[in-house]
Amino acid sequence: MNAPCKEHYSERTGDRYYEIQHSSGLRILLYPKNQNNSTYAVFGTRYGSVDTTFRVDGEEPCTVPEGIAHYLEHKLFESEDGDAFSRYAKTGASANAYTSFDSTCYLFSCSDRFYESLEILLDFVQKPYFTEKTVRKEQGIIDQEIRMYDDDPQWRVLFNLLGALYHKHPVKIDIAGTVESIAKITPEYLYRCYRTFYNLHNMVLCIAGNMDVDKVLELCDRLLIPSQPQAIERIFEDEPREVVRPRVEQKLAVAMPLFQLGFKEPAGARRVSDQEAAASDVLLEALASDASPLFRRLLDEGLINETSFSYEYFEGAGYASVIFSGDSRDPDRVAKEIRAEVDRLRKEGLSKEAFERARKSIYGRSIASLNSVASIANGMASLAFSDREMFDYIDCVAQLTREDVMRRLEVQLRPEYSALSVVLPLSE
């Protein structure tokens, strides 16, 4: 390997992967698992739907239309010679892409002809092609997508919740934008955002599975187009601590009411550390997993069903919250029970038995995820965008204490900063 290389090794798992800072500016993470028949690659940028106002290298701030990151993801697959999916069809790879609140990723998996597929990935992501005609055509496609999601109960219950939690942060805006905002997108806007956020210094390439590390790097040496480092400042308005409203509801075509209960947290530019993330994961596991008293009580009383009830720690640049989701005949009662259980936990503390059960469960799932090349590659990318590292997180879970978890509870799950979103059947 000619590029500077750092080896990450886990004594707990016996696994290792390599981190290379390529001369082009790209950070490359390679996790060989040559006993696997398949390989999974993710080429991503730290650029998502919330990045609508930014400043580059101290220049004047630039504000772009909402939904442009998602729009750019769609358009990047096209070129003058066709689209990337047609090229992947010839190698047999399964390809996809997604835009989240703070990242955009292009990916493929394959069991054969990996290096040909990797060449396609590195090629099309680095070669944008936007014209007035193709941009106008895409507006009609994404317009239909936005209108479809406007009637999607799962989508609406989430964004209604985010609108109830956040006053100003763009996390409350649909990832695809609005019909009005995408009508403002032009080739000039797309190229501006591409030059800013698709700079290789802002990107990462993560590969897990059956590969030759040196051969991957040789291909990167040949295909990566060097970029100059630049400072990107993401600009957000100050977000009030309080929620916008404590409850919001909408009626749609559902058989059973849907709910999401969110607990807003103070958040700045800094993302959570591995230790904080591990403590939050164990806290939620102890509070609401299917082994918890809360879950059993809600299930026994017929307030939830075991397939739809879930929870997550949802955080990024300038936003953070805990969200509980599910179906229920009485969402307000579920919200009341969750808040009461949080209050009990805050007063009585977390028992040693509940803590150990939750910690071991999180640790076991983290170790098991290393058997999946998809989980590894996507996990490395997500952690890289959060400035965190995979094995450090596993070590933090193993070394976590009850006191660490209780300290997280001091800032998380505050009922005075919570909101409930409900989607009711039309008949109600």
Q: Strand locations in 265-377, DSSP E?
A: 310-316, 319-327
Annotated active-site residue 73? The verdict is yes
Coil, strand, or helix at residue 379? helix
Distance between CA atoms of residues 25 and 19, nearest Å = 13
Distance between CA atoms of residues 296 and 80, nearest Å = 57
Half-sphere exposure of 316 (CA within 13 A, CB side): 19
Distance between CA atoms of residues 344 and 106, nearest Å = 44
Distance between CA atoms of residues 181 and 74, nearest Å = 16
**Placement of tokens 């797309």 in the chain:** 190
Catalytic residue among 59, 66, 73, 403: 73
Q: How far is CA 356 from CA 83, 277, 289, 353, 393, in A?
A: 51, 17, 13, 5, 17
Q: How far apart are the first and last CA of the chain?
A: 64
Q: What is the rounded radius of gyration, in angstroms, for the C-alpha atoms of the chain?
A: 22
- Compute CA 233 distance to the chain's CA centroid, rounded to the nearest angstrom: 20
**Placement of tokens 């989980």 in the chain:** 375
Residues designated as active site? 73
